[in-house]
Structure 1
Amino acid sequence: MSLTDENADEANPYLRDPPTEFEPVDDLSADEAEREVDLLREAIREHDRRYYVEGDPIIADRTYDVLFSRLQDLEDAFDCTHPDSPTRSVGGEPLEAFETVEHVAPMLSIDQSGEAEDVREFADRVHREVGDVEYVCEPKFDGVSMAFVYEDGSLERAVTRGDGREGDDVTRNARTIGSVPQQLHGDYPDFLAVRGEVYMPRDAFQEHNRKRIERGEEPFANPRNATAGTIRQLDPSIVAERPLEVFYFDVLEASDLEDSHSAELERFPEWGLRVTEHVEFADDIEEAIDYRDRMLEARDDLGYEIDGTVIKVDDRDAREELGRTARHDRYAFAYKFPARAEVTPIVDVAVQVGRTGRLTPVALLEPVDVGGVTVSRASLHNPEEIAEKNVNVGDTVRVQRAGDVIPYVEEVVEKNSEGHYELPEHCPVCGSAVERDGPMAFCTGGLACDAQLRRSIEYYASDDGLDLEGLGEKSVRQLVDAGLLESVADLYELEREALTELEGWGETSAENLLAELGESREPPLADFCSALGIPHVGPTTARELAHEFGTFEAFRETAEDDPERLEGVDDVGETVAQQLHDFFTSEANAEAVDDILEYVSPQESALETGGDELEGLTFVFTGSLEGVTRGEAQETVEAHGANATGSVSGNTDYLVVGESPGQTKRDDAADNDVPIVDEDEFRELLGEYGIDLE
């Protein structure tokens, strides 16, 4: 009996006004548990259908959660899980890799154009080959196309489009998506393969990006990228946490085919397959073109991204007669929208907390094309600039890219809000008070703020710090989230057993990291000063300070008690001197540094002079070098009479470029006609002067 029958309430007590209190699991027999599990699965599938397909739930979210939790408890207690159970939506054990499988029918692309004349030519060809036809018009979803295969109503597999002939089996990930039914409803075909589009709703995408930005992670460029990156995660539990949805829009193969595409779409909701409400008939191609123009006007009001419309011949026999090319079906045509260019609304503002605690407001945008690149976020710089531009959430703005790299809000084109955006009074990550320093705003939480803590550890381990291999952004976040790191000093308390219990860590990777940490206990003074992440103190300035003071104790004492003396050091002016003083006199920072010094003994710095072979030459370095750190390379040239500076100018003689170099320095070198040399050329240059780079 279906849950849509008249006696459904009596057939299943968990459909309407279900109980939320249950007998203890331990008091149930196996038969009683099995009966309750069957009823709960059946009811939850129906609630999923009503929520995702009909948009008309009949119970509250909280009640649904109680039923779902009860089902999980029973399945765990009586070991009666099943691949089709709704509880599979919470994920499972991570996969090592996806299996490549062949599609039951080709998943071809669609011929497309943004020009109306090309659409009319498509219609003319259709008319020549099959005569007059009706068209079905649908939005062209901007997501990830997949095939969903059902056998006897049960989800057998879900496969990415891949090359159209075969794709990746992502069934376990697909089961975590609420709008993917594990079991079809109603009078469904014995075999059914349908094509659907997995997507991330726009509101959910912006919220997901906001959280990524606040955690210090790189946001996704657009909902499609977010969807593609999610559906191919090897860990289904990650997919379960992300807000994906599905629209179904075509039958690839079925044991019982309908006569028309429109008839198929009508049956989809009966089977539990969600379809868009924006489907229309068109008697001729001009109506289809008009449909596209209306959808272009409505696109900003939809809850999901579309990049055009799809025009399909409705009659299935006509479709078969039209056939297909090697690349696309000849019965359909996509009429594309023009890309959004430069002008777009601000949907929200996220606040990113940097390593130094600085708060940077980031505008979250409706994705827009700027210079051929899709942009979904833009810098708002600081509170003063926000006030000057009078920009706020809801305003339509013009976006530009600084140096063709960093997007920023240039101006407000249409003011749709009152006033301008105000930074929060408390840090969005740790809740600490926010203090203003001129045009800047800073979180006062210091290393007690998770955002600053993670970035401080990442920087400490980076090339500009102690260059600890195996401690990148992902691994640091994992160690912090696991509770193994609450300070930089905790790095030296890590144990092999705790590391190997984490996902992705084996004996070798754990031992390698511990060996790296062991070797970092006596770092060069310049590397240690840089690794602390003091504002405005990078490797170049840290090296100058190390040369000037020789020991960490002397450097720290001067910064605390006599900051004016620091101004006599190259690369250190009044602002940097004050930053150094503020850093070391901060109670939280002083405590953090003291904790690190319990494990680390920075070495005294003594610049060994090897001669004046390079006297008069100025070098700038960018990127990472092999075999030596950038700091060591800089010390080498300085030891032989050259200057090593942090920025390129007309006085620079060579820019040395390693792996992953910065674009700005290369651009400055080009503007100033400064020779650019790679590491091999740099070593050859030193060799000409009889200098070895060790």
Structure 2
Amino acid sequence: MLTQEQKELLARSGLQLNHLDEKKLCHIAKHPELSKDLTDSELIEFLTVANALYRGGVAMISDADYDFVFQTELRKRQPNHPLLHTVEPESAFTGKTVELPVHMLSTDKAYSFKEIERWAGRIEKAATALNKPFADIVFRVTPKLDGYAAYDDGQTLYTRGDGRRGTDISRVFDRGLNVANGGKRGMGAGEIVISKSYFQRHLAEHFDNARNFQASVIKEKQLEAHAEQAIRDKAAVFYPFAQLPDWTGNWEQLSSQFKDIIESIWHKVDYDVDGVILEITDAEIKEYMGATRHHHRWQIAFKENVETAEVEVLNVTPQTSRSGRITPVAELEPTRLSGALLSRATAHHYKMVLHKGIGPGAIIRLARSGEVIPKIEEVILEAEPQIPTHCPSCGHELVWDNDFLICTNNLECPAQITHSLEHFFRVLKNNDGFGPATIRKLYDHDIRSVDAIYQLTAEQFEAMGFGPKQSQNLVDQLERSRSEAIEDWRFLAAFGVFRMGLGNCEKLLSHYRLTEIFELTEQDIVGVEGFAEKTAAIVTQGLVKIRPLFNKLYQLGFNLISSQTSESDRPAHPLSGKLLVFTGSMQHGTRDDMKKEAKAFGAKVGSSVTGKTDYLVIGEKVGESKLNAARDKDVTIISEQKYLEMIKQ
């Protein structure tokens, strides 16, 4: 149940539970996976309460759960909800609210370098529009303090409030709070923070966390002796952002040294930091780019949302992939990280298991970033590793290949065969019904190749134990997969040649016809952009292996769309070379149909709106997320009708 302090804070905030009771509220906090079962009203109320408790210093869930579980769930349902696009209010402190001298917005977040690159692309677009060389734009990187945000105009210290109106908390200076590094007042926005080393030495036994202490400094009630002493010792300070240690330079320097710069800035101060802030210093570009109601477009936070836990390994289970590699899977004591209950993690390969001592009884540090697959970050306590000598699927003796254990029995190994069959139908993506259960049943009746599956009749499916209706449906789906138009590169990718995923297949077939690729030399493949010599050698060997099966299936008459529409064959067209994204329900055809049609006119098609997108083509029932992204990135938005007019030109 809620603590008395949490109840008092909610009362001061004027928050009442209308859709959730206290018991359910606390149950959801302990089981974030239940977010999917909440009604919209319950989810919004939970987020509102969780935000108030966090900003009041008595959080009930982690940042990761808030951002990646509950906010993500709201984003799926209501992408335009104000909770996602406005500054989250700090309503826990009493007092009349007043207009802030400047708006204190939240900061947009990025969790990968690719997202930072997209942000820089928007900066470049703005610089180009203002006729400013992008290479001359100065970027500034500072630590992102995890304290209590406030604004100091020299006379009054304000809470951030809702970003536009805050509360007067000048009393903290009256209590003796200092500006960091002996600085003067009136330096604008900053955060109230406490020295990490001081907190650990003097305050950890009195406060649950640093944020709890920071909130206590601001509250109207009389300070506890520990807080008063921290202020006297100048361990608790107001740190203006303008005074933060920083790195400055151009984009080329920042992008080429990104990891080192982030690592250096992250550890520059002895305060809690939950990321770094990247921004530009050019006032004209900042004004041009402006802000949403939530954040400035010229600024972004880079965060490594990683949660870790020390977990005991219960067992290490070998699994055989379709390529024959044996993957060690660590079975773990069930542990919750970033809103998910985890009981397994990959150990990548058996050389890692051997060298790091990963076995039953080992203690590992498990890390999970956002919603990403968990990984073993460190082995804290080693144990005797268990290294298999035979394939868990077929019992064949295993051999070492660099870091990997390999089952070379690829023609008879059940796991390799069934995984390969599943892969073919999954990548083909124009059929239903051929999942793991169906494939396993076929394997048990001695069906071991894709071409054999295509020869089956409804009667034969029934004889294997499938129902009459299911049997006919499977036959119909096989017919559908041959007759429904698919790209030749998707067909090739379905054979599972190592290093030949969808992207590489599309690259290769943009230069050579499907029937020509089996005659290509390594030199021919290296001549295609994106293929190195080592990859070319692997690809040519893989093509030799699949050629017999390819010939059998190709003769079945799949309806393949050729990638071989050369520039000389293609008439000049307004869409040629343009990057399009489709969203909403289309009248002209399915979105897949329209994507294929656009490619036929020389356009490129993306799945998400980026700074490089030329057109966002919208149909009916369009969600706000892509529209907002297009507006933020100055992407041209056109209707389906306008698009149809363009392709007729």
**TM surpasses 0.5:** no
TM score, norm. by length of structure 2: 0.43
